[in-house]
């Protein structure tokens, strides 16, 4: 029964997440440098007694397996620990910046699919035409471009020279927006704040394009190749012979099957989007999780890095889970 | 495998099929070049990559400028074709007065070194582990596959950033970060191919003849797998170079004043309004190199292994 298989698949992610947490935890503990020293480095002179007290408070005097157990216990409850540098719980810090990152990732994915799907279909249908060749050349270019460079070039072009789009941030300075979800575009729609909507969309364009370009290129190529493969199949010829309208032959029969390998690739690209996030956020000064992680690394705020990496890994695992489930929806031959 | 009069010692037996291939390769090379000429795009790609390699190796002889020390009186000069540019600095200077063209050429050394080393080590480790896992199966396969799956739970860049965060900046740490995640792809490829090849008759025949397992793996199966590994490696090189550039851009890779394309782009960001060339030109260098590698890699795949074809 499919529902059981889906449940199985969901349950498998739990040990994976445990593994991820352990890997991340070990990495942090293997770092040279004492966490308490790092923390004290921010303050001034402290007595040995205070150091010991802090050690005890953060359970650093306990044996490693105990620390791991405490960490895991907390992580399951959403308590990811405490940032020594920013003096705030990590869960809070991450929660603040996560919506911005999600908005950017969704924007990039949206752009990628918006561009890749039509291009992939048209290129496959009109194989070797001018459209096809230009698209595939563009796709090649897309996979060869570093995202940070693309972002900078886009800024130069659209913000500096043409002045059409803003350089950084999520919304124009001074624009009021009542926050519901933390996703500015959604919030402005929900509160019918049209100025905010336009402003946040304008800010979202360039970062989304920079981040999504590479993904768009890859998805377009894969979609095209699987479409070409599918269009060669006998059942397509049969549909045509039966007098089916060409548009429906392509969009209904061929596309559905061609989407199967494509969906897998999209899942992998989500991972790339999560990673590239950090870079694009840095380029556009986007106040998201990625930029916070980069700053945390320079501030040697390892617990924060650890918590953020776990959140990223978790999101990636979830995304792949969704992809797997979607995969079975599209292809009834495959059971989980 | 027929044992010729020459294949007496173990070394002989292990390398026999490889030596035969080497002899065939010389003949095949002519074929390869003809095929390459039929694909002008791939040929151009290959030539450009070669040019980059040569430039990297011959770097000190190509320019008179010092890549690390600049003349502050010459800072932020535009490229030679713009107003205010000088012929001595064809691509302009950066904020420290260093010639950009020189830094780009020297930067090629790092990028290519990182690309080649990280892909090389990933290939070696992934192939070795994949061959063992695919051949022996059992506990080794289970452990390695689970470990690989675990690593796959992390997006590449995030894992690399995490590793760099903990290890600190530096050339070797960078290679380690890239390789740590990179081997998984090759592991899976070789493992899959190994499992497929194991069922074939020539392996059966070798076992019947009494050939030892390592000998079978190295001498018989691996030569058949190596082609797809090679193609994948070429295709991944461009990706590794972009990853290196990205990490350097964030400041997590090689540290200044060593000229690295990624950090050059990052440094140029502060002067985007007045000196666009400081950021844009190093990026173009990355773009052209990676594009050429990808185009050449695609051509290579096309020639060597049409099975992997993406139309």
The end-to-end CA distance of chain A, in Å, is: 10
Residue A152 C-alpha, separation from nearest chain B C-alpha, in angstroms = 8
Residue A309 C-alpha, separation from nearest chain B C-alpha, in angstroms = 7
A299 touches chain B (CB under 8 A): no
A209 touches chain B (CB under 8 A): no
Give residue A78's pLDDT band: very low, low, confident or very high (50, 70, 90): low
Residue B210 C-alpha, separation from nearest chain A C-alpha, in angstroms = 41
Residue B290 C-alpha, separation from nearest chain A C-alpha, in angstroms = 5
How many angstroms separate the CA atoms of A289 and A309, rounded? 10
A127 touches chain B (CB under 8 A): yes
- Tens of pLDDT, residue by residue over A123-168, are 888 888 888 889 988 998 998 999 999 999 999 888 888 888 888 8
User: What residues in A contact B242, CB-CB < 8 Å?
Assistant: 144, 146
Residue B197 C-alpha, separation from nearest chain A C-alpha, in angstroms = 24
How many angstroms separate the CA atoms of A104 and A184, rounded? 10
- The C-alpha angle with vertex B186 and arms to A267 and B26, in degrees rounded to 5, equals 130
Q: Choose from B155, B263, B273, B286 for mutation: most chain A CBs within 10 A.
A: B155
Element (H, E) at A88: strand A88-89
Residue A210 C-alpha, separation from nearest chain B C-alpha, in angstroms = 13
Query: Which one-letter DSSP state was computed for residue B65?
Result: S
User: What residues in A contact B290, CB-CB < 8 Å?
Assistant: 144-146
Contact A148 B246 (CB under 8 A): yes
User: What residues in B contact A225, CB-CB < 8 Å?
Assistant: 310-311
Contact A160 B242 (CB under 8 A): no
How many angstroms separate the CA atoms of A90 and A178, rounded? 24
A156 touches chain B (CB under 8 A): yes
Cis peptide before B257 (omega within 30 of 0): yes
User: What residues in B contact A278, CB-CB < 8 Å?
Assistant: 157-158, 161, 250
Contact A20 B153 (CB under 8 A): yes
A168 touches chain B (CB under 8 A): no
More reliable by pLDDT, B124 or A16: B124
Nearest to B288 by CA among B69, B114, B105: B105
Q: Choose from A109, A155, A297, A306 for mutation: most chain B CBs within 10 A.
A: A297
Paired residues of A88 in beta bridges:
A83
Contact B19, B279 (CB under 8 A): no
Average pLDDT of chain A?
A: 81
pLDDT, residue B26, reads 73
Residue B283 C-alpha, separation from nearest chain A C-alpha, in angstroms = 6
Q: Which residues contact B187 (CB under 8 A, 6 or more apart)?
A: B125, B126, B127, B129, B130, B133, B144, B148
pTM of the full structure: 0.84
How many angstroms separate the CA atoms of A116 and A295, rounded? 33
Map tokens 């797998």 to a residue.
Answer: B225
Does pLDDT of A40 surpass 70? no
- Tens of pLDDT, residue by residue over A231-282, are 888 888 888 888 888 887 778 878 888 888 888 888 888 888 888 888 999 9
b/e map B196-235, b = 16+ CB within 10 Å: ebbeeeebeebeeeebeeebbbbbbbbeebbbbbbbbbbb
Contact A275 B158 (CB under 8 A): yes
The strand pair at A82-83 and A88-89 is best described as antiparallel
* Mean pLDDT calculated for residue range A79-103: 81
Provide the token pair at B177.
């970060």
Interface of A with B in 46-85 (CB under 8 A): none
User: What residues in A contact B291, CB-CB < 8 Å?
Assistant: 140-141, 144
Does pLDDT of A334 surpass 50? yes
Written as tens digits, the pLDDT of chain B (311 aa) is 555 555 567 777 677 777 777 777 777 777 778 877 888 888 898 899 999 999 888 878 777 777 777 777 777 888 877 777 777 778 888 888 888 888 888 889 888 999 999 999 999 999 989 888 888 888 888 889 888 888 888 888 888 888 887 777 788 888 988 998 889 989 988 888 888 888 888 888 888 887 778 777 777 777 777 778 888 888 889 999 999 999 999 888 887 778 889 888 988 888 888 888 888 999 999 999 999 999 988 888 777 765 444 43
Nearest to B48 by CA among B34, B67, B56, B260: B56
A141 touches chain B (CB under 8 A): yes
To the nearest whole percent, how much of chain A has pLDDT over 70? 85
Does pLDDT of A86 surpass 90? no
Contact A136, A123 (CB under 8 A): yes
Provide the token pair at A86.
């920013």
Does pLDDT of A333 surpass 70? no
A268 touches chain B (CB under 8 A): no
Provide the token pair at B220.
């018989």
pLDDT, residue B6, reads 54
The SS3 call for residue B2 is: coil
Contact B287 A145 (CB under 8 A): yes
A152 touches chain B (CB under 8 A): yes
How many angstroms separate the CA atoms of A84 and B10, rounded? 60
A156: nearest CB among B164, B272, B286: B272
How many angstroms separate the CA atoms of A277 and A271, rounded? 10
Contact A31 B290 (CB under 8 A): no
Contact A144 B294 (CB under 8 A): yes
Cα distances from A219 to residues A68, A182, A224, A263, in angstroms, run: 40, 29, 8, 9
Contact A124, A228 (CB under 8 A): yes
Nearest to B149 by CA among A16, A294, A307, A309: A16
Q: How far is CA A187 from the centre of its chain?
A: 20
User: What residues in B contact A123, CB-CB < 8 Å?
Assistant: none
Provide the token pair at A264.
């897998």
Q: Choose from A101, A152, A156, A305 for mutation: most chain B CBs within 10 A.
A: A152
How many angstroms separate the CA atoms of B118 and B160, rounded? 12
Contact B104, B282 (CB under 8 A): yes
Question: What stretches of A284-301 show up as alpha helix (H) in DSSP?
Answer: 289-298
Element (H, E) at A83: strand A82-83
Map tokens 């090849």 to a residue.
Answer: B197
Cα distances from A202 to residues A103, A160, A175, A209, B110, in angstroms, run: 13, 15, 13, 12, 38
Does pLDDT of A321 surpass 50? yes
The SS3 call for residue B99 is: strand
- Tens of pLDDT, residue by residue over A162-218, are 888 888 878 777 777 777 777 888 888 888 878 888 888 888 999 999 999 999 999
Which residues of chain B have a Cβ shorter than 8 Å from any chain A Cβ? Answer: 146, 149-150, 153-159, 161-166, 238, 242, 245-246, 249-252, 262, 265-266, 269, 272-273, 276, 279-280, 283, 286-287, 290-291, 294-295, 298, 310-311
Element (H, E) at B32: helix B10-38
* Residue B99, φ and ψ in degrees, nearest 5: -65, 125
């Amino acid at each position: 029964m499919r529902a059981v298989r889906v449940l199985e698949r969901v349950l498998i992610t739990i040990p994976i997440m445990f593994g991820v947490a352990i890997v991340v935890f070990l990495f942090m503990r293997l770092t040279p440098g004492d966490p308490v020293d790092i923390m004290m480095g921010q303050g001034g002179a402290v007595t040995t007694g205070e150091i010991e007290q802090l050690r005890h408070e953060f359970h650093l005097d306990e044996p490693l397996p105990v620390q791991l157990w405490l960490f895991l216990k907390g992580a399951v409850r959403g308590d990811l620990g405490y940032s020594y540098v920013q003096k705030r719980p990590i869960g809070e810090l991450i929660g603040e910046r996560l919506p911005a990152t999600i908005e950017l990732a969704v924007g990039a994915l949206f752009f990628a699919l918006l561009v890749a799907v039509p291009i992939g279909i048209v290129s496959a249908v009109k194989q070797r035409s001018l459209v096809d060749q230009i698209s595939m050349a563009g796709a090649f270019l897309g996979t060869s471009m570093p995202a940070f460079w693309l972002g900078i070039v886009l800024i130069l072009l659209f913000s500096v020279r043409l002045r059409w789009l803003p350089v950084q941030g999520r919304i124009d300075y001074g624009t009021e927006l009542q926050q519901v979800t933390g996703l500015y575009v959604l919030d402005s729609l929900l509160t019918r704040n049209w100025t905010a909507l336009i402003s946040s969309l304008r800010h979202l364009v360039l970062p989304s394009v920079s981040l999504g370009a590479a993904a768009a290129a890859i998805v377009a190529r894969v979609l095209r190749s699987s479409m070409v493969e599918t269009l060669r199949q006998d059942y397509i010829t049969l549909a045509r012979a039966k007098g089916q309208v060409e548009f429906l032959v392509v969009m209904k029969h061929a596309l559905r099957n061609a989407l199967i390998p494509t969906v897998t690739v999209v899942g992998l690209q989500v991972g790339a989007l999560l990673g590239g996030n950090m870079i694009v956020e840095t380029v556009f000064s986007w106040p998201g999780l990625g930029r916070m992680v980069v700053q945390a690394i320079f501030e040697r705020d390892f617990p924060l890095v650890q918590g953020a990496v776990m959140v990223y890994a978790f999101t990636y695992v979830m995304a792949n889970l969704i992809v797997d489930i979607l995969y079975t929806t599209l292809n009834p031959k495959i059971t989980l | 495998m027929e044992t010729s009069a020459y294949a007496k010692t173990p070394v002989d037996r292990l390398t026999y099929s490889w030596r035969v291939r080497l002899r065939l390769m010389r003949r095949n090379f002519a074929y390869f070049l003809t095929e390459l000429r039929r694909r002008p795009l791939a040929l151009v790609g290959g030539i450009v990559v070669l040019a980059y390699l040569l430039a990297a190796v011959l770097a000190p002889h190509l320019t008179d400028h010092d890549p690390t020390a600049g003349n502050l009186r010459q800072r932020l000069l535009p490229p030679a074709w713009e107003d205010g540019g000088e012929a001595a600095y064809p691509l302009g200077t950066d904020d420290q007065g260093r010639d950009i063209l020189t830094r780009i050429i020297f930067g090629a050394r790092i990028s290519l070194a990182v690309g080649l080393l990280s892909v090389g080590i990933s290939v070696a480790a992934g192939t070795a582990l994949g061959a063992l896992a695919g051949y022996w199966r059992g506990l080794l396969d289970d452990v390695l596959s689970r470990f690989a799956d675990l690593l796959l739970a992390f997006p590449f860049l995030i894992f690399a950033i995490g590793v760099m965060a903990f290890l600190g900046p530096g050339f070797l740490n960078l290679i380690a970060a890239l390789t740590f995640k990179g081997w998984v792809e090759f592991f899976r490829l070789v493992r899959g191919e190994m499992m497929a090849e194991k069922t074939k008759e020539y392996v059966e025949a070798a076992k019947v003849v009494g050939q030892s397992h390592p000998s079978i793996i190295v001498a018989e199966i691996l030569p058949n797998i190596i082609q797809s590994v090679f193609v994948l490696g070429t295709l991944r090189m461009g990706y590794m170079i972009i990853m290196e550039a990205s990490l350097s851009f964030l400041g997590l890779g090689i540290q200044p004043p060593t000229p690295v394309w990624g950090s050059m782009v990052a440094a140029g960001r502060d002067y985007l309004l007045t000196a666009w060339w400081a950021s844009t030109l190093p990026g173009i260098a990355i773009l052209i190199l990676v594009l050429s590698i990808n185009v050449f890699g695609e051509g290579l795949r096309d020639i060597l292994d049409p099975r992997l074809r993406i139309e």
